[in-house]
Structure 1
Amino acid sequence: MPQIVVLPHADYCPEGAVLEASAGSTICEALLENDIEIEHACEMSCACTTCHVIVREGMSSLNPSDEAEDDLLDRAWGLCPQSRLSCQAVVAQQNLVIEIPKYSINHAKENH
């Protein structure tokens, strides 16, 4: 079972985390299943950028982004070449290291 290393984030996991993820699940699903309450204002329907993550290691193992995701990512805070929407990035067999950006474009948290 692949692991996801989550780098420390002041709000979501101050100490960082190492979690098990099921291949075929999305990064967002894996985070939520492990009590890392990443924002996902559109309920994981690829309609916002609140679940934006930066994949520091393992990017090549993820499914490719599609045009809808790429268009949304253009609006994400802190966009970089390793950016993905965690609700669209499907975990394969390779371990991942991700960073949750400090900010999102969401001005109010949704309390999921």
Structure 2
Amino acid sequence: MTQVVVLPHPQLCPDGAVLDVEPGVSICDALLDADIEIEHACEKSCACTTCHVIVREGGSSLNEADELEEDMLDKAWGLEAQSRLSCQAIVAATDLVVEIPKYTINHAREHH
């Protein structure tokens, strides 16, 4: 199991969290499985940026972002060099530290 540390987020995960995640699972699915309700307006099809995360540690172990993900990330609020769409970032064997940005470009939060 890979440890994914989720940094505190005021609404979604106020105290932060430490998750044990099976390699091969997307960061988005790992968060949702842990009842951290990260937005995913496009149902995880890489068609929006609402599941944007910043991988503070361990990002080099993730699968590489493809061209579509890179193009979508250009539209994300608070984009950083370590930004990924959590629906596309697949957990490997290296532990991760993940930050969920404070905002998304979504105008209305969808509950899933």
TM > 0.5: yes
C-alpha separation in 2, matches of 1:39 and 1:46 = 12
Letter of the aligned partner of 2:66 in structure 1? D
C-alpha separation in 2, matches of 1:43 and 1:20 = 23
Where does structure 1 differ by over 6 angstroms across 4 or more consecutive aligned residues?
none
Residue 56 of structure 1, CA deviation: 0.1
C-alpha separation in 2, matches of 1:20 and 1:38 = 17
C-alpha separation in 1, matches of 2:58 and 2:27 = 12
Stretches of structure 1 lacking an aligned partner (at least 5 in a row): none
C-alpha separation in 1, matches of 2:2 and 2:19 = 9
Partner of 2:47: 47
C-alpha separation in 2, matches of 1:15 and 1:81 = 25
Cα deviations by residue, 1:22-60 (Å, 9 ceiling, x for unpaired): 100000000000000000000000000000000000011
C-alpha separation in 2, matches of 1:22 and 1:51 = 19
Q: What pairs up with 1:36-75 in 2 under 5 angstroms?
A: 36-75=36-75
C-alpha separation in 2, matches of 1:110 and 1:61 = 30
Letter of the aligned partner of 1:76 in structure 2? A
Between Structure 1 and Structure 2, how many residues are aligned? 112
Cα deviations by residue, 1:78-112 (Å, 9 ceiling, x for unpaired): 00000000000000000000000000000101111
Partner of 1:83: 83
Stretches of structure 2 lacking an aligned partner (at least 5 in a row): none
Partner of 2:11: 11
Q: Secondary structure at the match of 1:101?
A: coil
C-alpha separation in 1, matches of 2:107 and 2:18 = 28
Could you tell me the percent identity over the aligned residues?
Answer: 71
Q: CA RMSD in A?
A: 0.4
Letter of the aligned partner of 1:97 in structure 2? V
C-alpha separation in 2, matches of 1:72 and 1:42 = 12
